[in-house]
Amino acid sequence: MVFKPASWPRKLRSAQWFGGTSRDHIYHRSWMKNQGLPDDLFDGRPVIGICNTWSQLTPCNAHLRDLAERVKHGIYEAGGFPVEFPVFSTGESTLRPTAMMFRNLASMDVEEAIRGTPLDGVVLLVGCDKTTPSLLMGAASVNLPAIAVTGGPMLNGWFQGERVGSGTHLWKFSEAVKAGEMTQEEFLEAEVAMSRSPGTCNTMGTASSMASMTEALGMALSGNAAIPAVDSRRRVMAHLSGRRIVQMVKDDLKPSDILTREAFENAIRTNGAIGGSTNAVIHLLAIAGRIGVDITLDDWDKVGRDIPTIVNLMPSGKYLMEEFFYAGGLPVVIKRLGEAGVLHRDTTTVAGETIWDQVKDAKNWNEDVILPVEKALTKQGGIAVLKGNLAPKGAVLKPSAASPHLLQHKGRAVVFEDIDDYKARINDDALDIDETCIMVMKNCGPKGYPGLSEVGNMGLPPKVLKKGITDMVRISDARMSGTAYGTVVLHTSPEAAAGGPLAVVQNGDMIELDVPNRRLHLDISDQELKARLDEWVPTHEVPESGYAKLFHDHVQGADTGADFDFLIGCRGSDVPKDSH
C-alpha cells in the first residue's frame, strides 16, 4: 500500500509537517505512523491537540484521561485527527512550595508544546486551580483555535448529616479543633467525606471560579462549568467540545476573536455574581496580558463593584457545585447579568454564537441556590480593590466572604515577618493579641515566599477562637484559597519582598481598613513611612539557582497578574524552523 498525499484542500498549519512528499514530510508522517495511524489521517484534515493536565499527583484532574477519550470521539466524528499530549500539571493540594509558583512554567510548557508541533487547534483539558489559567495563558500566547473542557467538580461532601465543602470545611474543622468544639478523631473521619468522588473542589473555590471564568469568557461551551465530574453529561460535554474544535479550525475562530475586553468585563461581573475566588483576579489579569487586552486591577473594582452575589455556594453561602448544576448552573447567572443590562451580549464564544444566544433560554430550577437579587448574599459582590499608603498599587478583599462588622475597622497591628514567624507564635497564649487587632503577615508575595502562596487567611489565635470569635482583619501580600473566607486583605502590592510599605509595618502601628471607601491606611506620617522605607533591607531568602531563581527574578506583582515579564504578550503560531 503506497500512501499518496491528498491534494490538501486547505493549507492548514499541520500541512507544513504532513502535507507533501519531501523527505521531511515523509519523516514527520513516518514516525507518527509507528502508533498505527492510517494514511487518511494525514489527508489534510485538522490536527487537533488534546492538551492534557492528567496526573495522579493532581488528584482533581486524575479522571481527565477518560475525558480525553471522549474528546477524541468528537474530533474523529467531525473529521479531525486527535493527538493527545501531556503538559506540566500543577496539583494544588500536592505541589510545594505552592502550585502558583509553577503556573507560569506550565504556561510556557503549553505555549511551546502547541507552537512546536503540527497542530491546527487545541482542546485544553483542565480542572485544578492553576491548570486552567496556565493552559489558557499558553494557548492565548499562541492564538490557535482553542476550546477548554474543565474536569468538573466533585460530588457534595457529607459529614454528620451536613454538607462538607472542599477546603471550606478543612479550615472550619481545623479551627473547631483548636477551639475545642471538635475532636481530632472526628476531624480524621471527615477526611474522606470531603473528597468522595473524582473532580475538582466542590465549593465556589478557585477551580470552580476559573471554570466559570472560562465559560463567561466564551472559551468553553455553555454549561461546562458546573457539571459534576462523574455526571455522564460531563462526558457529553467533552465529546461535543471535540466536535466543535474541528469546526473552529475550519472557521479560524481564535482566542483573540473571543478574549476581547468586553469578554473580560463579562467575566469580572460573573465573578461578582458567583462570589468567585480572589485568585481569579490574578489569573484573568495574566490571561489578558497574554492576549494583549488592557485590563487592570482597577477594572475589577470599577466593572464588578455593583454586582450582587446571587450564587448561594460555599465559601460565601450554603450549597455546593452539584446543587449549582441542578439549579441550572452558570448560564442562569449570565442570563441574569444580561437581563440586568450589565452583560456585553454580543461577545463571541467557542460555539460561534454570542454569549447571549448561549444563555438566553436558561432556567433557574432552584431559587435558594441561585437567588433572586433581593435575596442576594451581598449587594455589592465582586472584588474590592483597596488603595492607600499601605498598598499604593492595590490590594484585594472579597466582601461576600468577609464579616460585615469588620469592613470598616481600625486596629493595632500584630506583625508576623513571614509564614514561619506566624506558625511559631500564633498558638502561644503569651502573644499580645485580641480580636480587635489586625494580623499582618509579610514576605508571602510572588518574590517573598517565593510563589505567592495561599496563606493569607491566617488561622486565628486559639485564645481568640475560644471566645467564640471566628473572624479578624488579616492583611498580607499572600493569596487565599478560593475555598476560604474571612475579612482578609490579600495581594498587597508592592509586596514586602519588593520593598512595598507592608515591609515596614511594625507591631503596635494602627491600621485602618475602610472597604466602602476602598482605603487601606497605615496610620503613620509620610515622613515616618519614608524614613522606614529608606532604612529597609530585604529579609526574604533569594534563590540562587534553578527555576526558583528564574521565578524570583522575572515575576511581576500580583497587581498585574504575577506573570513573568518576558512572557507577557501573544507570540503567535508561526511554525518554527525545522532542523532536519
d(CA 286, CA 265): 14
Q: Which three cell numbers stand for residue 98?
A: 505552592
In three-state secondary structure terms, 349 is coil
In three-state secondary structure terms, 301 is helix
Which one, 131 or 143, has the nearer CB to ligand FES? 131
> Binding segment for ligand FES among 37-45, 198-206, 328-336, 525-533 (CB under 6 A)?
198-206
Residue 407, Cβ neighbours under 10 Å: how many?
Answer: 16
Which one, 170 or 246, has the nearer CB to ligand FES? 170
Among 3, 5, 25, 93, which residue interacts with ligand FES (rule: CB under 6 A)? 93
**Residue 561 in contact with ligand FES, rule: CB under 6 A:** no
d(CA 481, CA 472): 17
Least separation in angstroms between CB 157 and ligand FES:
12
Give 401's Cβ-side CA count (13 Å radius).
33
**Residue 495 in contact with ligand FES, rule: CB under 6 A:** no
**Phi, psi torsion values for 552, nearest 5 degrees:** -60, -40
Is residue 384 a contact partner of residue 298, using CB atoms and an 8 Å limit? no
Least separation in angstroms between CB 295 and ligand FES:
24
**Residue 207 in contact with ligand FES, rule: CB under 6 A:** yes
Of 391, 496, 133, 116, nearest to 286 by C-alpha is 133
d(CA 545, CA 547): 7
Which one, 98 or 487, has the nearer CB to ligand FES? 98
Least separation in angstroms between CB 93 and ligand FES:
4
> Binding segment for ligand FES among 178-186, 201-209, 358-366, 468-476 (CB under 6 A)?
201-209
Interface size with ligand FES, residues (CB under 6 A)? 10
**Residue 205 in contact with ligand FES, rule: CB under 6 A:** yes
Which one, 94 or 296, has the nearer CB to ligand FES? 94
Least separation in angstroms between CB 2 and ligand FES:
50
In three-state secondary structure terms, 431 is coil
| Beta-carbon contacts of residue 491 (< 8 Å; ≥ 6 apart) | 278, 281, 282, 394, 395, 396, 445, 477, 478, 479, 558, 559
Amino acid at 573: S
Among 12, 110, 128, 396, which residue interacts with ligand FES (rule: CB under 6 A)? 128
Q: Give whole-number Cα distances, 294 to 305, 423, 556, 558, 560, in Å.
A: 19, 39, 16, 16, 11
**Residue 200 in contact with ligand FES, rule: CB under 6 A:** yes
User: Is-cis flag, bond preceding 9, omega within 30?
Assistant: no
First CA to last CA across the chain, in angstroms? 26
In three-state secondary structure terms, 146 is strand
Q: How many residues does the chain have?
A: 580
User: Is-cis flag, bond preceding 97, omega within 30?
Assistant: yes
**Residue 304 in contact with ligand FES, rule: CB under 6 A:** no
Cβ burial, residue 3 (10 Å; 0-12/13-18/19+): middle
Among 15, 50, 60, 498, which residue interacts with ligand FES (rule: CB under 6 A)? 60
Least separation in angstroms between CB 175 and ligand FES:
19
**Residue 197 in contact with ligand FES, rule: CB under 6 A:** no
d(CA 571, CA 108): 12
Which one, 207 or 273, has the nearer CB to ligand FES? 207
Which one, 49 or 451, has the nearer CB to ligand FES? 451
What mask of x and - would describe binding to ligand FES in positions 133 to 172, judged by CB under 6 A? Answer: ---------------------------------x------
> Binding segment for ligand FES among 187-195, 197-205, 513-521, 527-535 (CB under 6 A)?
197-205
> Binding segment for ligand FES among 35-43, 200-208, 420-428, 441-449 (CB under 6 A)?
200-208
Of 184, 204, 380, 361, nearest to 276 by C-alpha is 204
Among 111, 129, 323, 563, which residue interacts with ligand FES (rule: CB under 6 A)? 129
Least separation in angstroms between CB 482 and ligand FES:
8
Which one, 97 or 392, has the nearer CB to ligand FES? 97
Which one, 47 or 154, has the nearer CB to ligand FES? 154
Least separation in angstroms between CB 264 and ligand FES:
23
Which one, 93 or 197, has the nearer CB to ligand FES? 93
Least separation in angstroms between CB 173 and ligand FES:
16
Least separation in angstroms between CB 203 and ligand FES:
8
> Binding segment for ligand FES among 199-207, 279-287, 342-350, 543-551 (CB under 6 A)?
199-207
Residue whose C-alpha cell is 505552592 = 98
**Residue 106 in contact with ligand FES, rule: CB under 6 A:** no
Which one, 81 or 171, has the nearer CB to ligand FES? 171
Least separation in angstroms between CB 147 and ligand FES:
20
Among 144, 201, 240, 413, which residue interacts with ligand FES (rule: CB under 6 A)? 201
**Residue 92 in contact with ligand FES, rule: CB under 6 A:** yes
The string over 456-481, giving b where at least 16 C-beta atoms fall within 10 Å of a residue's C-beta and e elsewhere, is bbbbbbbbbbeeebbbbbbbbbbbbb
Is residue 288 a contact partner of residue 296, using CB atoms and an 8 Å limit? no
Residue 484, Cβ neighbours under 10 Å: how many?
Answer: 26
Is residue 219 a contact partner of residue 132, using CB atoms and an 8 Å limit? no
Least separation in angstroms between CB 486 and ligand FES:
18
In three-state secondary structure terms, 98 is coil
Residue 117, Cβ neighbours under 10 Å: how many?
Answer: 17
Amino acid at 565: D
Which one, 109 or 129, has the nearer CB to ligand FES? 129
Which one, 129 or 559, has the nearer CB to ligand FES? 129
- Contact residues for ligand FES, defined by CB under 6 A: 60, 92-93, 128-129, 166, 200-201, 205, 207
